[in-house]
């Protein structure tokens, strides 16, 4: 169920390399754990983010959780549709529910991220 | 079953023009004309109903409530214990119910004596030196204590900016830290559900103002490393704050001051039986070690030189008032009566029985649902529906909702966050063995039910599953006339 062409962070974000930027979203597993999502706070375009550190928050009827940047870089775009309808993330986490595009830092690396197979194994154990 | 669903329509919906509960006779006094600038255009759109319809409206609404007086209420983390009815009779005695907070001290000596004694008793149970009764709930107690800590460090000329909070803590802890102006830093729990000492040590330094710990923690486990933890925090010059939400497990058995806490709050409305629910009224006194006493909120009740009691206003280092007058005195009085009724030995028995009840219920349930740290517990334990969710698509929420059909208030669900699909169960000391056994039977029978039945629960309540997203995103806060 986790698309094979994506990379995955331990903290349940996915990354798709698309030209010179990376699209980032939340995984289906994360979305299921959060239950109904009410609000998403994302960084602003131009903001610098650091891999492994919080870059935003997602609020569900259950709790507020941090969204972590999966890599170092600068925010190139933000999915504005989410401010109107955060439930897009629940409905289509790998498509219309994407969160941000990050322009990776010069020495930005992706090799710490997991494959779909490795990530699925991690979440099955959880 | 009797149809209980009638007459709970909104008063606005049953309103008919001209209906009244009472008609006020003409006063016979001459009318006084008000300046037209102060008059509104017409009558406000208030509902118009007859007295009987009004009474039915509220009585029927109240019958939809689940309360400790009608149903078993095993709500973990927010001790919902029986509220002795005798307290209600005693607090309505004229000497307790009618004093005004602005009366001169010498005319309310009895009230001040009770409050003074309450300060002393709470300090003694904490194993600390002084107590302020002002904060009006646990979270406000946390904030007040952190402001006391900030004032203390400022007075010493120390610049400490961080408050460390374990990941199993109540959400109010990091929130209080942020509001008090500190940066909140999360400390991980280990696999045993206790504070990960290595992680704590890696985050402790001279920037640490306070380490906040709930002990027993929200998993219902007493952190046996507590002496080690408090020593490490003190070595770095920090203070230890004890979140007293779980005091029901250790009253008269272990004193936070003895295991190294420098500050703590009580929830008088939980631990000491103030009736509460739906957000209040609470009472969150804080107790502190001697060096923090000068910074406590003002005023305090003290003894004057003649052996009477007075409010001490002149406290130059105090953080000031955190609440009007003297906090929620009505709740404090009930707490004082509870402590006075039980005495030291009775108080200890409360905790022994609370822990025994929780362990008994744990043994009845743990063969049927996963309890991740289920070898034993203090006053509460946390079950997990993680396996059920994976295998049968049955979530903690489904179980909680189905319990409502069966006449049980749901335990706390999805907290603490360190347990997936958490169900946090706290029976309290006043439940009988039979009640616990019956609850366990019902709980286990729910686990065996068809998942579809659970997904659609509750079936028998006036409202089934409200749309929580819509309630958050588009709350209807005002009724608008058509």
Q: Is residue A125 part of a domain?
A: no
For position B226, which CATH number holds?
3.40.640.10
Chain A interface includes B397 (CB < 8 A): yes
Report the gap between the CA of B468 and the closest CA in chain A (Å): 6
The pLDDT value recorded for residue B4 is 52
**Contact list, A31 vs chain B (CB under 8 Å):** none
For testing contact with chain B, the best of A10, A12, A31, A62 (most B CBs within 10 A): A62
Q: Is residue A90 part of a domain?
A: yes
Pair B93, B208 in one domain: yes
The pLDDT value recorded for residue A1 is 76
Per-residue pLDDT of chain B (482 residues; tens, 9 = 90+): 455 555 678 898 899 999 999 988 988 999 888 888 888 888 888 899 999 999 999 988 888 888 888 999 999 878 889 999 999 999 999 999 999 999 999 999 999 999 999 999 999 999 999 999 999 999 999 999 999 999 999 999 999 999 999 999 999 999 999 999 999 999 999 999 999 999 999 999 999 999 999 999 999 999 999 999 999 999 999 999 999 999 999 999 999 999 999 999 999 999 999 988 766 689 999 999 999 999 999 999 999 999 999 999 999 999 999 998 889 999 999 999 999 999 999 999 999 999 999 999 999 999 999 999 999 999 999 999 999 998 999 999 999 999 999 999 999 999 998 899 999 999 999 999 999 999 999 999 999 999 999 999 999 888 889 888 888 888 888 877 65
Q: Which two tokens stand for residue B12?
A: 């606005």
Report the gap between the CA of B472 and the closest CA in chain A (Å): 7
> Which of B309, B341, B373 marks a domain boundary?
B341
Q: Is residue A1 part of a domain?
A: no
Chain A interface includes B468 (CB < 8 A): yes
Chain A interface includes B474 (CB < 8 A): no
Q: Is residue A124 part of a domain?
A: no
Listed residue (B216, B217, B163, B165) closest to B188, CA to CA: B165
ipTM strictly over 0.90?
A: no
Pair B285, B181 in one domain: yes
Pair B398, B328 in one domain: no
Structural domain boundaries, residue B393: 349-469
Q: Is residue B91 part of a domain?
A: yes
Domain count of the fold of chain B: 2
Report the gap between the CA of A18 and the closest CA in chain B (Å): 33
Query: Cα(A72)–Cα(A111) distance, rounded to whole angstroms?
Result: 12
> pLDDT of A64-119, one tens digit each?
889 999 999 999 999 999 988 888 999 999 999 999 999 999 877 788 899 999 99
Pair B283, B155 in one domain: yes
Pair B152, B212 in one domain: yes
Domain count of the fold of chain A: 1
Question: pTM, whole model, 2 decimals?
Answer: 0.88
Q: Is residue A73 part of a domain?
A: yes
Q: Would the CB atoms of A37 and B469 count as touching at under 8 Å?
A: yes
Number of residues written out for chain A: 126
Pair B239, B330 in one domain: yes
> Which of B414, B468, B472 has the CB atom closest to A63's CB atom?
B414
Structural domain boundaries, residue A26: 7-115
Q: Is residue B49 part of a domain?
A: no
Chain A interface includes B473 (CB < 8 A): yes
Residue B357 C-beta-side C-alpha neighbours within 13 Å = 26
Question: Hey, is B239 helix, strand or coil?
Answer: strand
> Which of B341, B366, B384 marks a domain boundary?
B341
> Which DSSP string corresponds to B101-152?
TTS-GGG-HHHHHHHHHHHHHHHHHHT-SEEE---SSHHHHHHHHHHHHHHH
Q: Residues B182-185: contacts with CB within 8 Å, 24+ apart? A: B182/B146, B182/B150, B182/B209, B182/B210
Question: Hey, is B286 helix, strand or coil?
Answer: strand
Kindly identify which residue of chain B lies nearest to residue A29, measuring between CA atoms.
Answer: B390
Q: Is residue A67 part of a domain?
A: yes
Tell me the residues of A at the B interface, defined by beta carbons under 8 Å apart. Answer: 33, 35-39, 61-63, 87, 126
> Which of A63, A87, A126 has the CB atom closest to B417's CB atom?
A63
Pair B408, B353 in one domain: yes
For position A70, which CATH number holds?
2.40.50.100
Q: Would the CB atoms of A39 and B472 count as touching at under 8 Å?
A: yes
Q: Would the CB atoms of A37 and B414 count as touching at under 8 Å?
A: no
> Which of B308, B341, B374 marks a domain boundary?
B341
The pLDDT value recorded for residue B278 is 61
């Amino acid at each position: 169920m986790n698309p094979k062409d994506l990379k995955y962070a331990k903290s349940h974000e996915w990354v798709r390399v698309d030209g010179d930027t990376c699209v980032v979203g939340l995984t289906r597993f994360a979305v299921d754990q959060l239950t109904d999502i009410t609000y998403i706070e994302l960084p602003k375009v131009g903001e610098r983010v650091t891999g492994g550190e919080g870059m935003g928050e997602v609020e569900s009827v259950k709790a507020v959780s941090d969204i972590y940047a999966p890599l170092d870089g600068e925010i190139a775009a933000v999915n504005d549709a989410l401010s109107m309808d955060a439930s897009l993330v629940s409905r289509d986490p790998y498509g219309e529910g994407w969160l941000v595009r990050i322009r990776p830092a010069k020495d930005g690396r992706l090799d710490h991220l997991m494959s779909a197979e490795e990530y699925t194994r991690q979440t099955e154990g959880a | 079953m009797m149809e209980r669903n009638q007459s709970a329509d909104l008063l606005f919906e049953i309103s008919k023009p001209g209906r009244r509960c009472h008609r006020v006779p003409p006063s016979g006094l001459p009318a006084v004309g008000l300046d037209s600038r102060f008059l509104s255009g017409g009558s406000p759109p208030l509902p118009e109903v007859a007295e009987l319809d009004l009474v039915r409206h509220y009585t029927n609404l109240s019958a939809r409530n689940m309360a400790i007086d009608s149903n078993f209420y095993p709500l973990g983390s927010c001790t919902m214990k029986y509220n002795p009815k005798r307290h209600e009779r005693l607090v309505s005695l004229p000497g307790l119910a009618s004093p005004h907070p602005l009366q001169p001290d010498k005319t309310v000596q009895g009230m001040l004596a009770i409050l003074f004694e309450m300060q002393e008793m709470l300090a003694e149970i904490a194993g600390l030196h002084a107590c302020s009764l002002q904060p009006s709930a646990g979270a406000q107690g946390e904030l007040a204590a952190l402001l006391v800590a900030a004032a203390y460090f400022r007075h010493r000329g120390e610049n400490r900016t961080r408050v460390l909070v374990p990941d199993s803590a109540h959400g109010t802890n990091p929130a209080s830290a942020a509001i008090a102006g500190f940066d909140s830093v999360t400390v991980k729990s280990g696999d045993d559900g206790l504070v990960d000492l290595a992680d704590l040590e890696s985050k402790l330094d001279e920037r640490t103002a306070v380490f906040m710990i709930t002990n027993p923690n929200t998993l219902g486990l007493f952190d046996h490393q507590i002496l080690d933890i408090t020593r490490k925090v003190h070595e770095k010059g920090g203070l230890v704050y004890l979140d007293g939400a779980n005091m029901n497990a250790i009253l008269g058995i272990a004193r936070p001051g003895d295991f190294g806490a420098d500050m703590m709050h009580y929830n008088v409305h939980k631990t000491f039986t103030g009736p509460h629910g739906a957000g209040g009224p609470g009472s969150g006194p804080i107790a502190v070690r001697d060096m923090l006493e000068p910074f406590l909120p003002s005023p305090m009740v003290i003894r004057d030189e003649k052996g009477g009691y007075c409010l001490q206003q002149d406290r130059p280092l105090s953080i000031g008032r955190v609440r009007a007058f003297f906090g929620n005195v009505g709740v404090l009085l009930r707490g004082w009566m509870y402590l006075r009724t039980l005495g030291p030995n009775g108080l200890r028995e409360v905790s022994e029985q609370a822990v025994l009840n929780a362990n008994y219920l744990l043994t009845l349930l743990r063969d049927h649902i996963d309890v991740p740290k289920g070898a034993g517990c203090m006053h509460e334990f946390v079950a997990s529906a993680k396996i059920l969710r994976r295998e049968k698509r049955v979530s903690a929420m489904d179980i909680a909702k189905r319990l409502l059909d069966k006449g049980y208030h749901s335990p706390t669900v999805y907290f603490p966050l360190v347990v997936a699909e958490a169900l946090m169960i706290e029976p309290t000391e006043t439940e009988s063995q039979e009640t616990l056994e019956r609850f366990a039977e019902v709980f286990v029978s729910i686990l065996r039910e068809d998942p579809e039945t659970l997904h659609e629960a509750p079936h028998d309540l006036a409202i089934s599953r409200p749309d929580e997203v819509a309630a958050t995103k588009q709350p209807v806060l005002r009724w608008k006339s058509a």
